[in-house]
Each structure stands twice: as C-alpha cells, then as structure tokens.
Amino acid sequence: MSDAPLNKLVAQINGHLERFEHAGPEDDEQRISVGLLLIAARDSVQRGKWYDWLKANIKRSIRDCQKAIAVAHAPDPHRKLAEQRKKNRQYARRHRQSLHRRAENIIDLLWSSGARVLQQPRRTPLVFAEDDAPPLPFVGRLEAVKPGANPSD
C-alpha cells in the first residue's frame, strides 16, 4: 500500500483518539472503529515494522493500540469494552488502597522514630468585625525528635 492511504489512516486514527481521551460508554462505537482502523493499518504496514510504525505515527502507547485491536477482534466488542472498564476500575481501586497503606506506613514510621506534634504558644487573636469568621487556631507542626533526646528541649 502506498503512503497516501496510510497517512489518511494515521489522520483518522489520531483524530478518533483525541476525541475520546476521557470518554465513557457512549463512545464505544468510536473505540471499535479505532480498532478496525488500526487493523487496516497493520495489514498495510510491512511485516516486522508494525511497532516502529505505531511509535512513529500514532499518538498513543502501543498497549492502548493493542487494547483497541483486541476490542475490534472480539466477538462482542461492547462486552469487551465493558470488561476493560471494569478491570480499569479495579486497578484504580487497588492503586488508591496501596497509596493509603503507604501513607499509614509513613505515619507509623514517623511516630515510631520519635516524631511528634509540637504545640505552638497561643497568640492573641486579632479583632475582627462581626461579619468576619474567627481565625482558625494553629494546631501545631510536625518535628522529628532524635531517639534518646529529651522531647522538651
């Protein structure tokens, strides 16, 4: 195949991909058509040059292109897209849980190493008009205290 039809496919694929960056189920048909366009492009690219061609021409990762092709090849593309969305939600939930556990571990590490919240002396509050909300009190700051050191120093 000559470069002209391939360039047309590149423009179509990238155009579709830009339109549904954060799209939902209402754009399933467009996602399926991207997969079909990628299949047509793959059939036109010289054998062994597919990944190089993708990197040079398509503005998405190879993995995204593989997913689009898998959707287009599926017997029921809509079901395949629904499964992909479910898998993505599960991954995002596990990632958030992992971040939460890491934050808890950091807090535990700080406390076990002697970090503590030091209270600041209270300052005289500023006088505000009746309409203004009172200022929030200063809670304190976090400081690390060396093990064995006197915390009151």
pLDDT at 52: 93
- The DSSP annotation for 116-150 comes to EEEPPPPPPPPP--TTSPPPPPP--EEE---TTS-
pLDDT at 30: 85
For residue 18, is pLDDT > 80?
Answer: no
Mean pLDDT within 38-46? 91
Q: Which of 40-44, 72-76, 81-85, 135-139 has the lowest mean pLDDT?
A: 135-139
Mean pLDDT within 92-102? 89
Nearest to 85 by CA among 129, 144, 24, 19: 24
CA distance 147 to 145: 6
For residue 21, is pLDDT > 80?
Answer: no
Identify the band that residue 136 occupies on the pLDDT scale cut at 50, 70 and 90: low
Nearest to 37 by CA among 69, 74, 64: 69
